[in-house]
A and B are shown apart, each in its own frame.
Chain A
């Protein structure tokens, strides 16, 4: 079984357009197990019943933002080891430095091409 069959990914974004675009790209890479969530809170709830290997999350969301979600994941024993890829419209120093501190695995700046997303994911989990 290849990695892409087993890798469980959750896409977190409040905008259905973005969720659709990312999910479609992931399906294009051959990923078989993809879930989506509309915000950090529901992502955490989903991950609790459906553990994942990789969280792909938008930065700017209502309620919890992407980095707050990361913080929640990292401070919970069961999820502290998951991969975290941040999708952000703004990649300024504060966000990236702060992400680094929290243990962000990688980030992609919007807008991005599917290939850029693939490269960013593979940098975390290895060849898909």
Chain B
């Protein structure tokens, strides 16, 4: 994007997303009756800013609609219009349309005016006027020419304004003992501007009494900088409290002559009331603004103020041009996603590289306290830190996703005439960006299902003593190294008899098969299952829960159902925090090396003969502290070998499943525990049951990463050799 206009336009759309988000937040607060006048202002400003930007790019449809919405919001702001529930319902619709218009403008899609027209008519009737009635009067204004006090533009330069400071820096002993280096601080200071340093060495002891941890030197620094005192202080942030620091401003910079800036809001009451009620209220209370330190008394205009010309930097380069972010109170940088992805890939390479290096060092047989080994230890720690930091860059709160679901609930409940309230929780839970993007479709489907199938009609609800309006809860939380997202409704719960009957009718299960409640619930995930008698507007679009499940599985996630008749149903999605790296246990089975995600392992143990019990003709169970857990032979399950004849003395991993049940998985040996880079297999092999992905080990070999829970679900449970049994594909 070399065209600067295109660049600004692109950033406009990003800004629009942020504004739309705060718009939704504001409307939500207003709807909950928790809005103050600032909330109303935020909503107004969001619409206003979108309109302003859209105007600059000639996005007429967007401008026109935003303008009407803005007018309505303005009326709310000036108390001409009360924000009742119905009004807010309309505003939510307006917000949705505004989001559509922004999207259409971004994607250059044509705009369908019919939907907007209907909402515009509603706004008109709300305001008792239409867009045509609005006529801005021309106001007479005579520009005031400024006699610029640029003393002889062509001759005299503008007087220099860069203040200079005297900084006295005296480290205390602790500064040295904690490993700080004054030289680095001075270097950092030099970054701020022109600097002259003198060192006070009078109290320096003789050479034989010199100690590295006893401070005897005092530095006096003359620094000319426009960065301000705060920037100077920042340099000394790390040694705060373990040194004596005096910062005095020398020059008569305007800063010292101005009255305290934080007094400015106090001037506001002197203002005659402004037409905008919004503006007059305590401006800037929420602005994270740090008033300049008042350490320097206003000094008389000094004669030694350097002319600007004398500062070479000012002559050669233009004044600092802020790119926006630099001046923002929240210091944020917008980075192209490709760059981050590249970084993530590189970190993956480092992890592999580090594993190989570790292996080589291992093979070299160096002593444990060798510098190479300790260096490697540190490298390991740093790699982990880098990896976590990079993942944090990719992490985003699920809030944007949840807001989209708010719209789905509004639209789908309106379509079928049910009153539905959506309550969200844990919106700030952070998940990898890709996960958020790829979760949108499955979640949309689940929400629609909850509204359509999960909840009863208003009348039915009232008849069963529930509130007429149904509730859908959307929750996100972190649980043992994974992210769990739950969609729950307080509807009728799953009608298991009906589900079973349908599954039998469709030939999905043999009629004579007895199924547990959980098994019946899981029938919903079978391809080709749909309970809707008539294909309603919402569900039955050819996308079933099976598609939802495979979408979740593609993300390395799992989905489960719990349901109670008359109380409601909860769908729970559990996802890995990152799609790039995981902590794994390296195990071997029948000479194959495999990786088991560490967070799925509860504990590891070695079986004793008394732990083992035969259970039926083919299977064993393990007695673990008086609870019985099914035994699973990994080698046999994966088809690497036949089940063993004796399991005593073998190593087992105790794996926890989603529903809380456990299984003991037999492996031959535990080799190592380390971070591994996830390399997806989906593109080449599709989904392989029980296998999550692959990775490259330190010796360059490829190992499969298991999905133990999936493996257990799919397992035969056969732990006793029976030759006539069909072999599991290997």
- Residues of A participating in the B interface, judged by any CB pair closer than 8 Å: 1-3, 6-8, 14-21, 23-24, 32-42, 44-51, 53-54, 60-65, 67-68, 71-72, 75-79, 81-83, 89-98, 100-101, 103-107, 110-112, 120, 123-126
Q: Give the CA-CA distance A106 to B145 in the complex, in Å.
A: 9
Quick check: is B45 within 8 A (CB to CB) of the other chain? yes
Whether A104 contacts B144 by the Cβ 8 Å rule is yes
Chain A residue with Cβ nearest B320:
A35
Does B12 interact with chain A (Cβ within 8 Å)?
Answer: yes
Known pairs A36-B322, A126-B145; list 6 more (Cβ under 8 Å).
Answer: A18-B53, A21-B56, A38-B329, A41-B283, A62-B287, A124-B143
Q: Does B212 contact A (CB under 8 A)?
A: no
Q: Return B379 CB to nearest CB of chain A, in Å.
A: 39
Chain B min CB distance to A128 (Å):
12
CA distance A48 to B257 in the complex (A): 9
Given A20-B11, A23-B321, A45-B292 in contact, is the A103-B144 Cβ separation under 8 Å? yes
A110 to chain B, nearest CB (A): 5
Given contacts A62-B287, A63-B284, A124-B144, contact A110 B55 (CB under 8 A): yes
Residues of chain A contacted by B154 (CB below 8 angstroms): 1
**B51, B141, B226, B324: which contacts A20 (Cβ < 8 A)?**
B324
Closest 6 CB pairs of A and B: A111-B55, A94-B275, A63-B284, A123-B143, A33-B319, A16-B324
Which B-chain residue is minimally distant from A72 (CB atoms)?
A: B264
B271 contacts chain A at the CB level, 8 A cutoff: yes
Q: B150, A65: Cβ atoms under 8 Å?
A: no
B58 to chain A, nearest CB (A): 8
Instruction: Say how far A31's CB is from chain B's closest CB, in angstroms.
Output: 9
In the assembled complex, the Cα of A105 lies from the Cα of B15 at a distance in Å of 30
Task: List 28 A-B pairs, Cβ < 8 Å.
Answer: A14-B45, A15-B15, A16-B11, A17-B15, A18-B52, A20-B7, A24-B5, A32-B318, A38-B329, A39-B287, A42-B327, A45-B292, A48-B255, A54-B146, A62-B42, A65-B276, A65-B279, A68-B268, A68-B274, A75-B270, A89-B55, A90-B136, A105-B143, A110-B52, A123-B143, A123-B145, A124-B144, A125-B145
Q: Does the CB pair A20–B271 fall under 8 Å?
A: no
Q: Is the CB of A68 within 8 A of B271?
A: yes
B328 within 8 A of A: yes
Task: Provide the residues of chain B in CB contact with A7, threshold 8 Å.
Answer: 148, 150
In the complex, the chain B residue whose C-beta lies closest to that of A23 is B321
Query: Chain B interface: which size bin?
Result: 35 or more
Indicate which residue in A2, A18, A93 contacts B139 across the interface (CB closer than 8 Å).
Answer: A93
Interface residues of B in 214-263 (CB under 8 A from A): 226, 228, 253-255, 257-259, 261
Which B residue's beta carbon lies closest to that of A121? B143
CB distance from A87 to the nearest CB of B (A): 9
Contacts of B26 in A (CB 8 A): none
Shortest Cβ gap from B37 to chain A (Å): 13
Distance in angstroms between the alpha carbons of A35 and B319 in the assembled complex = 7
B144 to chain A, nearest CB (A): 4
Nearest opposing residue in chain A for B268, CB measure: A68
B267 at the interface (CB under 8 A from A): yes
The number of inter-chain residue pairs (CB within 8 angstroms) is 221
A48, B294: Cα distance in complex, Å: 13
Task: Indicate if the CB atoms of B161 and A44 lie closer than 8 Å.
Answer: no
Q: Nearest Cβ in chain B — how far from A91, in angstroms?
A: 6
A41 to B619, CA, bound (A): 74
Chain B residues, Cβ within 8 Å of A15: 15, 49, 52-53
Option from B146, B149, B157, B319 in Cβ contact (under 8 Å) with A50? B319
B542 proximal to A (CB < 8 A): no
Whether B48 sits at the interface, judged by CB under 8 Å, is yes
Task: List the A residue with the shortest CB-CB distance to B324.
Answer: A16
Closest to B147 in A: A81
**Chain B residue, CB-CB nearest to A81:** B149
Q: Which residues of B contact A110 (CB under 8 A)?
A: 52, 55-56
A71 to chain B, nearest CB (A): 6
Given A41-B289, A76-B259, are A125 and B267 also a contact pair (CB < 8 Å)?
Answer: no
On whether the beta carbons of B161 and A51 are closer than 8 Å, the reply is yes
B56 lies within 8 A of A18 (CB):
yes
Contacts of A32 in B (CB 8 A): 318-319
Residues of B within 8 A of A54 (CB): 146
Closest Cβ–Cβ distance, residue A90 to chain B (whole Å): 8
Q: Which of B55, B161, B274 is in CB contact (< 8 Å) with A65?
A: B274
A34 to B329, CA, bound (A): 19
Closest-CB distance, A69 to chain B (whole angstroms): 9
- Which A residues lie within 8 Å of B4 (CB)? 24
Contact at B56–A105, with CB atoms within 8 Å?
Answer: no
Query: Provided the pairs A6-B158, A45-B292, A48-B261 are in contact, do residues A64 and B283 lie with their beta carbons within 8 angstroms?
Result: yes
Convert B387-402 into 0s and 1s, putting 1 for each residue whose CB lies closer than 8 angstroms to a CB of A.
Answer: 0000000000000000
